[in-house]
Amino acid sequence: MHRKFRITVDGQPYEVVVEEIVGDGGGAAAAGAASWPASVAAASAAVAAAPAHTPPRAAASAGDEVAPLAGTVQSIEVTVGQAVQAGDKIAVLEAMKMKTEVHAKGAGKVVSIAVAVGESVDTGAVLLTLA
């Protein structure tokens, strides 16, 4: 069974044809068509209620240098034990094919590095800790 629909995306109308596929040879076509809006609503609710795929992160504390934007870690410019000054480049992140240098907000010694090259990070994720 084919059904024709008109949808609007960003103000642009489109006409689409949808084919209903029924697994029992067609006997449930009428029931499937009648329950279709309810099943879409149930699936949408399940997606909305699904837990995030990223684990919760701890809040940044004093000495933590955090990601200013979400992206992928391209490089870590410091090592554990290294002394850094405010303004020193500590990492490079890439987001949407643009590389962004991350600079230390304060001075100190690198105590730990919380991310690895190639890892995706969210805005505010701890990159490293200074003491």
Answer yes or no: do 37 and 88 share one domain: no
Domain count within the chain: 2
Residue 85's domain comprises 64-130
84 assigned to some structural domain: yes
Answer yes or no: do 71 and 43 share one domain: no
Answer yes or no: do 43 and 84 share one domain: no
55 assigned to some structural domain: no
Report the C-alpha gap between 129 and 65 in whole angstroms. 6
pTM of the model: 0.56
121 assigned to some structural domain: yes
Contact present, 59 and 31 (Cβ < 8 Å): no
Structure tokens given for 102: 């991350």
Euclidean distance between the first and final Cα of the chain, in Å? 67
Q: Which tens digits make up the pLDDT trace of 56-77?
A: 555 677 889 999 999 999 999 9
Answer yes or no: do 71 and 121 share one domain: yes
Q: Which tens digits make up the pLDDT trace of 4-42?
A: 888 888 778 878 888 777 765 555 445 555 555 655 555
Answer yes or no: do 125 and 82 share one domain: yes
Answer yes or no: do 73 and 107 share one domain: yes
Q: What is the CATH number of the domain that holds 103?
A: 2.40.50.100
77 assigned to some structural domain: yes
